[in-house]
């Protein structure tokens, strides 16, 4: 039978069409947000954030916005600032994010003896 | 129609065109006059039969198409109607023929329903053609040179209208209805959205319609029917509602009530204002525009951490880092999927503004004033009853028109009053002549509130947003009217207003509903957004004023009640259970103090419902349209944010990066508010305060840096704002 198929010039053989799977789309999900480059980095960098205070409200705000924009550009370069913000906000409703947020807030709270 | 591959069955076409030909025509022998065919009446009846038995029964529209192609309306029907002179009203045959014409005109101008599920291939084939044809019908009907066609149509129905309601035959009722539907159709026909009308738009515009209605006495007809509804007319109410709706939807009331001179001035002002706005836009562009030619090729890089660089082309980046960042952002291509806004563009849409010519403005204003004086109460009272009892003639879209029209006319009444006595200083002097609000009283009674509340509940639950939007507009205008009433010099008005406000103030279900609607906005379109923010703004504002009503005012109102009761007692109508009569002045004061204290507390509790993230988001979405908002709308958003941040001390709710970015952009641009506009200053002041608070808060509580990204739940917000957990006392 092997000879026969050879005589048929391999026409009968099934050719398997393999398409290269499309590269998975990069998503701004909670895992990315909680990764090293995500919110942990934001918290670390925030310590260097300095404001000038009274009389410099707008320049302070512009610095603050730039701070977030650059962080988001590193984390998820393809989306525009406001779009990325909306995505992050949406992620905030996920269980995992909620508990992480709770933890970060509790860290900041003054320690009381009762727990 | 070239004989080959016709869209209509050739046999049908042949029959119909032979009928049209036999109807009559004009020839050189008669100096171009139109001459009726020998059997014109029979032809007209046959055509009607064709429309009814072929088109309607088989659901096809073929005959309508043939008639449109053969120019029956412009070429025959209007000519025949025009040839019915005023003094020949008694001519039986002629009036019969005129009526037969009207009977054909109504189905031909009937609105084409495009959304129903019963649309067949034939509909898809004919509807676009017929839509354009109807525009042609309207044009030739309202602009007909030889005669007043609409007026002639009214004459057809006059004999039936002259009969007492009880004595009218079904045929009489039918004729009256036919006439009203004809007028409704004419008012309703407008170029469909997305279709470019090739003729002169001015000939079929709203202005042209209004002018024609004025000239051809249609307004008189409408006033007659609406002011005597319930006596001489009964079931015609919903058609009149329909006509009024298509006549006034989208008309700007403020502009309507400017007098002619002021209108001229305001046109100039408008031009000046627009030029200024344009200049401001250009200025803001020019400050950011490149100063050299576009191939100058500057390239800057932004030093990032970890020795990373970002390159940005163009001069902008060299001079200003924030503009560099903006440029970096603008070059990104990715766009997340977005849902389209669900507005309504069909004939029932009332959010699209309409411009009227000076002439039409004058005519419409005269009509509106007369309608308010005579037709408002009877018509709307009658329709409210029909809606409440779910009468068969009330169709699904009628409540929407009903509420929208009430809101529109109430606002018109308020504007009219304001214009009548512009100086409030003199009001004590002329208090004798002040009109009471009885002209609009029919929509301020308890039954109306019941209907309105039910409608708001129902539409909210069934997600029919445009209907809800109309109901909200209605509620807003009722509130504003009641508020104006409470400041009226007439004691009766004050008392009624106070009763209504008192009821609303303690109605928890209404509070919940308003807050819920505001909280749940999600891509319902700008018109809806405008209505719901307007409602919550005025609702909060009016109830706040009511809660602040000083002790003095309450004492006065109690005194008034006492006086009334005394008078009643004197006239012999004794009531045993009046607890007020025997109190002294001192007791009045303590009582009033207690109530005002209670009310303040109540209001605080109520206003707290608007502190949720949902409500804030709704107003943020609204404020994001800042460049297209009027100053009153900007004020609305400003007051809300101000209330959240400072009056109720929950500025944390506004500390989210996108909100801060929006506020920053509104003031500092690019494409920010015009610094010369009146709104700019208060926004500048407010945003500055918010930013100051925000940066201070971040230093105070570093956790906020993360929370700035997210919506906060109430407990978190409370902690961030005050630094301690909210005491949650559970008493229930």
pLDDT one-digit tens code per residue, B651-681:
888 899 999 999 999 998 777 888 888 889 9
Name the pLDDT band for B731 (thresholds 50, 70, 90).
very low
Give the CA angle between residues B675, B681, B682 to the nearest 5°.
140
Q: What is the pLDDT of residues A5-49, one digit of tens each?
A: 556 666 777 778 888 888 888 888 888 888 888 888 888 888 887
- Nearest C-alpha neighbor of B668 from the set A81, A79, A77, A63: A63
Quote the CA–CA distance of B407 and B239 in Å, as a whole number.
19
Q: How far is CA B175 from CA B51, B76, B552, B631, in A?
A: 18, 21, 60, 49
Cβ neighbour number for residue B309 with a 10 Å cutoff: 8
Q: Which residue has the tokens 């129902």?
A: B458
Q: How far apart are CA B144 and CA B149, in angstroms?
A: 7
For A57, which of B691, B707, B716 is closest by C-beta distance?
A: B691
- Three-state DSSP class for residue B442: helix
Task: Give the range among A60-64, B7-11, B372-376, B380-384 with minimum mean pLDDT.
Answer: B7-11
Give the separation between CA B100 and CA B82, rounded to whole angstroms. Answer: 14
pLDDT at B468 over 90: yes
Structure tokens at B316: 């902008």
Are residues B61 and B11 in contact, defined by beta-carbon separation less than 8 angstroms? Answer: no
Nearest CA in chain B to A89: B710
Residue A74 has pLDDT above 90, yes or no: no
Whole-angstrom distance, CA of residue A42 vs CA of residue A57: 22
Cβ–Cβ below 8 Å for B334 and A79: yes
Residue B651 corresponds to which tokens in the numbers above?
């500025």
Nearest CA in chain B to A69: B325
Long-range contacts of B55-58 (CB under 8 A, 24+ apart): B56/B107
Q: Which two tokens stand for residue A57?
A: 């409200």
**Cα separation, A66 vs B317, whole angstroms:** 14
Q: Are B653 and B606 in contact (CB under 8 A)?
A: no
Q: Which of A81-90, B81-90, B630-639 has the lowest mean pLDDT?
A: B81-90
Interface contact A74-B304, CB threshold 8 A? yes
Distance CA B489, CA A19 (A): 82
Comparing CB atoms, the residue among A61, A79, A93 nearest residue B336 is A79
A39 contacts on B by Cβ (under 8 Å): 706, 709
B436-466 residues labelled b (16+ CB within 10 A) or e (exposed): ebebbbbbbeeebbebbbebbeebbeeebbb
Q: CA B630, CA B634: separation in Å to the nearest integer? A: 6
Strands B24-26 and B309-313: unpaired
Residues whose CB is less than 8 angstroms from the CB of residue B154 and which lie 6 or more positions away in sequence, other chains included: B179, B216, B217, B218, B221
Helices (H) and strands (E) in chain B, counts: 33, 4
User: Can you give the pLDDT at residue B327?
Assistant: 84
Residues of B with CB under 8 A from a CB of A: 304, 310, 321-322, 325, 328-330, 332-336, 656-658, 660-661, 664, 667-668, 687-688, 691-692, 694-696, 698-699, 701-703, 705-711, 716, 719-720
Q: What angle do CA B426, B429, B431 make, to 5 degrees?
A: 100
- Inter-chain residue contact B322 with A66, CB threshold 8 Å: yes
> For chain A, what is the largest distance between any 2 Cα atoms, rounded to a whole number of angstroms?
91
Element of type H or E holding B431: none
Which residue of chain B has the CA closest to A60? Answer: B695
> Is residue B699 predicted with pLDDT exceeding 90?
no
DSSP E strands in B97-215: the ranges are: none
d(CA B95, CA B87): 12
Q: Mapping DSSP to helix (H, G, I), strand (E, B) and coil, where does residue B251 land?
A: strand
Q: Does position B650 have pLDDT exceeding 90, yes or no?
A: no
Count how many Cα atoms sit within 13 Å of the Cα of residue B536 in the half-sphere of its side chain.
33
The span from the CA of B246 to the CA of B191, in Å, is: 13
Cα B681 to chain centroid distance, Å, stands at 30
pLDDT of residue A98: 85
Which residue of chain A is at minimal alpha-carbon distance from B662?
A82
**What is the 8-class DSSP label of residue B84?**
S
Q: Do A66 and B321 touch (CB under 8 A)?
A: yes
In angstroms, the separation between the Cα of residue A18 and the nearest Cα of chain B is 29
Residue A1 has pLDDT above 60, yes or no: no
pTM value is 0.87
From the number of C-beta atoms within 10 Å of its C-beta (0-12, 13-18, 19+), residue B347 rates as middle
Could you give the CA distance from residue B263 to residue B364 in angstroms, rounded to a whole number?
Answer: 14
β-bridge pairing B299-303 and B34-36: unpaired
CA-based nearest residue to B537, from B619, B598, B427:
B619
**Which ranges constitute the DSSP H helices of B229-290?**
237-248, 253-256, 260-288
What are the C-alpha distances in Å from B55 to residues B16, B217, B394?
A: 12, 33, 26
Range from B450-464, B559-573, B627-641, B707-721 carrying the lowest mean pLDDT: B559-573
Q: Which of A34-43, B112-121, B339-348, B422-431 has the lowest mean pLDDT?
A: B422-431
DSSP SS3 for B233: strand
- Output A45 or B448, whichever has higher pLDDT: B448
The reported pLDDT for the residue numbered B186 is 94
The DSSP bridge partners found for residue B313 are B299
In the structure encoding, which two tokens stand for residue B111, read together?
A: 């609105």
Contacts of A66 in chain B (CB under 8 A): 321-322, 325
- The two beta strands, B299-303 and B309-313, are antiparallel
Chain B residue whose CA is closest to A54: B692
pLDDT digits (tens, 9 = 90+) for B558-577: 666 666 666 666 666 555 45
Which tokens is B73 given? Answer: 């309306």
Q: How many CB contacts within 8 angstroms connect chain A with chain B?
A: 116
Two structure tokens written together for B45: 């009846």
Q: What single-letter DSSP state applies at residue B357?
A: -
Chain B interface mutation, best of A57, A74, A108, highest count of B Cβ atoms under 10 Å:
A57
> CB–CB of A85 and B702 under 8 A?
no
Q: Are A80 and B649 in contact (CB under 8 A)?
A: no
Q: Does pLDDT of B378 surpass 70?
A: yes
pLDDT band at B174 (very low <50, low <70, confident <90, very high): very high
What's the rounded Cα separation, in Å, for the pair B392 and B385?
Answer: 12
Q: What is the pLDDT of chain B when averaged over all its residues?
A: 85
B691 contacts in chain A (CB < 8 Å): 57-58, 60-61
- Token digits for B120? 């067949």
CB contact under 8 A, A81 and B336: no
Bridge partner list, B299:
B313
Residue range B59-98, pLDDT digits in tens? 888 899 999 998 899 888 998 888 887 777 777 888 889 9
Q: Residues B141, B101: contact at Cβ < 8 Å?
A: no
Percent share of chain A, pLDDT over 70: 86
How do strand B34-36 and strand B24-26 relate by DSSP bridges? antiparallel
Which tops the pLDDT comparison, A50 or B536?
Answer: B536
Residues of A in contact with B658 (CB under 8 A): 82, 85-86, 89
Q: Strand, helix or coil at B25?
A: strand
Average of pLDDT values for B721-732? 61
Give the gap in angstroms from C-alpha A100 to the nearest C-alpha of chain B: 11
Model confidence at A113, pLDDT cuts 50, 70, 90, reads very low
> What's the pLDDT band for B349 if we cut at 50, 70, 90?
confident
Q: What is the pLDDT of residue B573?
A: 56
Chain A residues close to B664, C-beta within 8 Å: 58, 61-62, 65
Higher pLDDT, B600 or B461: B461
Question: Which of A50, A59, A81 to mutate to probe the B interface, most B CBs <10 Å?
Answer: A81
Looking at the predicted structure, is the pLDDT value of residue B472 above 90?
yes
Please state, for a pLDDT cut of 70, what percent of chain B lies above it.
Answer: 90
Q: Provide, as residue numbers in chain B, all residues whose Cβ is less than 8 Å from the Cβ of A60.
A: 691, 695
What is the model's pLDDT at position B730? 45
Burial zone of B395 (CB within 10 Å; 0-12 exposed, 13-18 middle, 19+ buried):
exposed
Largest CA distance in chain B: 99
Residue B558: the pLDDT is: 66
d(C-alpha B624, C-alpha B627), whole Å: 8
């Amino acid at each position: 039978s092997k000879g026969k198929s050879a005589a048929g010039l391999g026409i009968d053989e099934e050719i398997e069409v393999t398409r290269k799977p499309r590269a998975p789309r990069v998503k701004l999900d909670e895992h990315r947000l909680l990764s090293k480059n995500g919110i942990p980095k934001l918290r670390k960098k925030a310590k260097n954030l300095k404001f000038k205070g009274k009389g410099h409200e707008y320049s302070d705000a512009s610095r603050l916005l730039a701070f977030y924009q650059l962080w988001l550009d590193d984390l998820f370069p393809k989306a525009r600032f406001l779009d990325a913000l909306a995505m992050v906000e949406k992620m905030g409703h996920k269980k995992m994010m909620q508990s992480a947020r709770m933890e970060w807030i509790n860290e900041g709270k003054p320690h009381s003896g009762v727990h | 129609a070239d004989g080959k591959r016709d869209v209509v069955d050739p046999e049908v076409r042949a029959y119909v065109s032979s009928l049209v030909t036999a109807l009559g025509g004009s020839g050189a022998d008669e100096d171009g006059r139109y001459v009726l065919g020998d059997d014109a009446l029979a032809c007209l009846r046959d055509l009607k039969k064709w429309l009814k038995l072929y088109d309607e029964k088989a659901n096809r529209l073929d005959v309508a198409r043939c008639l449109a192609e053969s120019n029956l309306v412009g070429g025959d029907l209007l000519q025949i109607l025009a040839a019915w002179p005023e003094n020949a009203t008694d001519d039986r045959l002629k009036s019969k023929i005129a009526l037969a014409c009207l009977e054909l005109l109504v189905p031909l101008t009937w609105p084409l329903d495009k959304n129903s599920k019963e649309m067949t291939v034939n509909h898809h084939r004919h509807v676009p053609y017929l839509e354009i044809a109807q525009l042609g019908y309207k044009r030739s009907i309202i602009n007909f040179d030889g005669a007043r066609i609409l007026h002639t149509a009214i004459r057809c129905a006059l004999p039936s209208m002259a009969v007492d309601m009880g004595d009218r035959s079904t045929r009489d009722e039918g004729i009256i209805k036919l006439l009203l539907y004809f007028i409704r159709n004419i008012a309703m026909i407008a170029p469909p959205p997305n279709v470019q009308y090739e003729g002169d738009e001015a000939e079929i515009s709203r202005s042209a319609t209004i002018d024609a209605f004025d000239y051809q006495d249609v307004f008189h007809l409408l006033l007659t029917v609406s002011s005597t509804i319930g006596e001489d007319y009964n079931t015609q109410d919903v058609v009149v509602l329909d006509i009024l709706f298509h006549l006034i939807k989208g008309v700007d009331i403020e502009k309507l009530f400017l007098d002619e001179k002021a209108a001229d001035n305001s046109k100039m002002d408008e031009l000046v204002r627009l030029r200024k706005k344009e200049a401001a836009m250009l200025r803001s562009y020019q400050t950011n525009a490149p100063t050299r030619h576009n191939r100058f090729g500057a390239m800057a890089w932004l030093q990032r951490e970890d020795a990373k660089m970002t390159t940005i082309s163009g001069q902008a980046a060299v001079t200003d880092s924030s503009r560099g960042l903006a440029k970096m952002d603008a070059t990104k291509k990715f766009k997340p999927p977005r849902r389209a806004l669900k507005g309504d563009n069909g004939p029932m849409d009332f959010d699209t503004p309409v411009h009227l010519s000076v002439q039409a403005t004058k005519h419409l204003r005269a009509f509106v004033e007369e309608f308010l004086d005579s037709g408002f109460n009877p018509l709307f009272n009658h329709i409210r009853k029909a809606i409440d009892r779910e009468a068969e003639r009330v169709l699904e879209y009628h409540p929407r028109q009903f509420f929208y029209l009430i809101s529109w006319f109430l606002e018109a009444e308020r504007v009219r009053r304001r214009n009548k006595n512009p100086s409030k200083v003199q009001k004590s002097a002329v208090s004798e002549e002040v009109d009471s609000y009885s002209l609009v009283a029919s929509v301020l009674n308890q039954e109306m509130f019941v209907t309105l509340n039910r409608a708001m509940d129902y539409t909210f639950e069934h997600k029919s947003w445009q209907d809800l939007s109309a109901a909200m507009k209605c509620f807003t205008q009722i509130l504003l009217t009641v508020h104006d009433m409470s400041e009226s010099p007439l004691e009766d008005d004050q008392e009624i207003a106070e009763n209504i406000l008192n009821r609303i103030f303690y109605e928890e279900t209404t509070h919940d509903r308003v807050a819920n609607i505001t909280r749940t906005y999600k891509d319902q379109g700008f018109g809806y957004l405008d209505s719901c923010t307007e409602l919550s703004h005025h609702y909060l504002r009016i109830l706040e004023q009511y809660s602040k009503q000083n002790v003095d005012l309450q004492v006065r109102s109690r005194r008034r009640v006492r006086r009334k009761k005394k008078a009643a007692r004197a006239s012999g109508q004794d009531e045993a259970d009046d607890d007020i009569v025997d109190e002294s002045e001192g007791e009045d004061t303590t009582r009033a103090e207690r109530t005002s204290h209670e009310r303040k507390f109540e209001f605080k509790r109520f206003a707290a419902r608007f502190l949720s993230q949902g409500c804030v988001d709704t107003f943020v979405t609204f404020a994001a349209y800042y460049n297209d908002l009027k100053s009153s709308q900007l004020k609305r958003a400003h007051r809300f944010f101000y209330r959240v941040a400072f009056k109720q001390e929950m500025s944390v709710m506004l500390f989210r990066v996108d909100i801060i970015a929006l506020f920053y952009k509104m003031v500092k641009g690019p494409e920010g508010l015009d610094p010369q506009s009146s709104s700019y200053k208060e926004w500048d002041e407010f945003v500055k305060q918010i930013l100051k608070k925000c940066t201070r808060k971040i230093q105070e509580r570093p956790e906020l840096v993360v929370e700035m990204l997210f919506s906060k739940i109430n407990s978190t917000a409370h902690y961030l704002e005050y630094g301690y957990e909210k005491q949650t006392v559970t008493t229930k």
